[in-house]
Amino acid sequence: MTLNDNVVLKLENINAGYGKFHVLFDMNLEVPKGKITVLVGPNGAGKTTTLNTIFGLATIHSGKVYYRNKDITKVPAHQRAKMGMAYTLQLFNIFSSLTVKENLVLATYDIPESEAKKRMEEVFQLFPRLKERLFQKAGTLSGGERQMLAISISLVRKPELMLLDEPTAGLAPKLAKEVFQAIRQLGDQGYTIILAEQNAKGALETGDEAVLIASGRIVAKGKASELLERKDLAKMYLGLI
């Protein structure tokens, strides 16, 4: 299959889950290049499983996953990472016993030192608070700072596709707003991002495109701003009204 130049990833008739457990049903999705695509929906709708399917961590029962014009349906997760995907998990996404600097150095282990330093400085421009915490153990950071570090660990790899799973989960509203602003800034810089979020309002205000998932199926998709205005969907699936 040849994807449109503006499409980075495509899910075609995907049925997936874990082992014999079926979570996603007949999912079709195209992810545009240089845009933030948000996945929203009720708890347990299948948002994380969609990310796991994209990254090769779920069982695909049928259907195809295409990335950069390649069928990667059977490609293992570590190979997908080498192909330019970066996945920031909701939990266990940093090394708590290492300092902020050590976490970032570990992420750039195979990158020339001068280039690694340049990338770290770019991260510090986005998250200046991390530079202030450079020699602090990551496990002692606040919840918001941990998420900033987790995103930065992906960011220093210069990924072609960033997968972010619930980056504002458990954060105070002010910190969640900072994380959303940083993600929006990355989108403005041309990064392609898929953001799965329980905070539907924040996600829809941040994203360009939106996909509403319920019970493992895509219920609606379109411009994020348009879905935010759909009061019927907001009331039925997102708890916004």
Write out pLDDT tens, residues 54-81.
999 999 999 999 999 899 999 999 999 9
Give every residue of the chain whose pLDDT is below 70, as ranges. 1-3, 237, 239-241
Determine the Cα–Cα distance for residues 55 and 65; give it in Å rounded to an integer: 10
Domain-embedded: residue 216: no
Closest CA to 93 of 184, 169, 154, 157: 154
Give the pLDDT confidence score for residue 1 in this predicted structure: 60
Domain-embedded: residue 195: no
Give the pLDDT confidence score for residue 22 in this predicted structure: 96
Domain-embedded: residue 109: yes
Domain-embedded: residue 181: no
Tell me the residue range of the domain where 132 lies.
93-157
Give the pLDDT confidence score for residue 239 in this predicted structure: 64
Domain-embedded: residue 121: yes
One-letter identity of residue 127: F
Strand partners, 24: 16
Closest CA to 166 of 186, 144, 137, 196: 196
**Domains in the chain, number:** 1
Determine the Cα–Cα distance for residues 152 and 123; give it in Å rounded to an integer: 6
99: Cβ contacts below 8 Å, ≥ 6 apart: 134, 135, 136, 137, 138
Domain-embedded: residue 20: no
Domain-embedded: residue 27: no
Give the pLDDT confidence score for residue 236 in this predicted structure: 72
Domain-embedded: residue 117: yes
